[in-house]
Amino acid sequence: MNADRMMDICLLAGEIMLTYGAETYRVEETLERMAKSAHFNNVHSFVTTTGIFLSFEEDGKGDVMQMIRVDDRMQDLNKVTLVNQVSREFVSGELNGDQAWDKLQKIAKAPANYSALLLHFSSGVAGGAFSYLFGGNLFDTIPAFIAGFVASWCIVFLQDYTKVKFFAEFMSAFLGGAVAIGLVLLGVGENLNQVIIGTLMPLVPGIPLTNAVRDLMSGDLVAGVSRGAEAIITALSIATGIALAIALFL
């Protein structure tokens, strides 16, 4: 296999993993193992939250280096798992380069396993469950469910429309909080604090925060700090949105 083909395979695998929520150290390890298994030497990879750098040496032809930028960041750990499986099969020799490339292309183009409506519905269920878990009663799960559904729908719609992640999070927290407050004031629900908590819990950046800690623990300081900053800004956006809703409607 020539170096250019191997470079394309590695970068596609890394782009899928980084886009859909893998830790940076996992991406680096995957790319290095795939390149070394194809008998390339002097393999080095450097991954940040927004880019992938990969270089290796081809016998008799010198070093090859390429980078790609990754702008989109979503959460679909199933695709990360599928890429990991392709990597293992390629390293073990069960797949050749062309087969690995075809599988990675299918993974990249595959739609989400669950429909958008199901994801929003699940966010509503999570909102109601967290509301009950944090001390609300069964009656409080109804407004928390509705507000959680609204917040989940808003964050997807606004992010597609505005392309500004933190503004979408701010507005979704504001609109979800406004719906929660409105429903409680209308008599649907009793404990406003628990309803608001349930509404916001599906928006909390759990995966970025977890990945930030894991990257820091593995020694990837640049990626860990940047992911941590992203999680903190997301939390501030959510907090600001709900604080604005409380200030305006209470």
pLDDT digits (tens, 9 = 90+) for 92-114: 999 999 999 999 999 999 987 88
pLDDT of residue 179: 95
| CA dist., res. 77 & res. 153, Å (int) | 20
Question: What b/e string do you get for 71-98 counting C-beta neighbours within 10 Å, with b at 16 or more?
Answer: eebeebeebbebbeebbeebbeeebebe
Tens-digit pLDDT profile for residues 153-210:
999 899 888 888 889 999 999 999 999 999 999 998 889 999 999 999 989 888 888 8
Residue spans per domain, the chain: 3-109, 116-249
Residue 71 has pLDDT above 90, yes or no: no
Helix 206-217 and helix 24-37, axial crossing angle in degrees, nearest 10: 60
Residue 230 has pLDDT above 80, yes or no: yes
| CA dist., res. 98 & res. 104, Å (int) | 10
- Joined together, the tokens standing for residue 87 give 């990597």
Give the confidence band of 36 by pLDDT, cuts at 50, 70, 90.
Answer: very high
The residue with tokens 């395979």 is 9
| CA dist., res. 154 & res. 134, Å (int) | 24
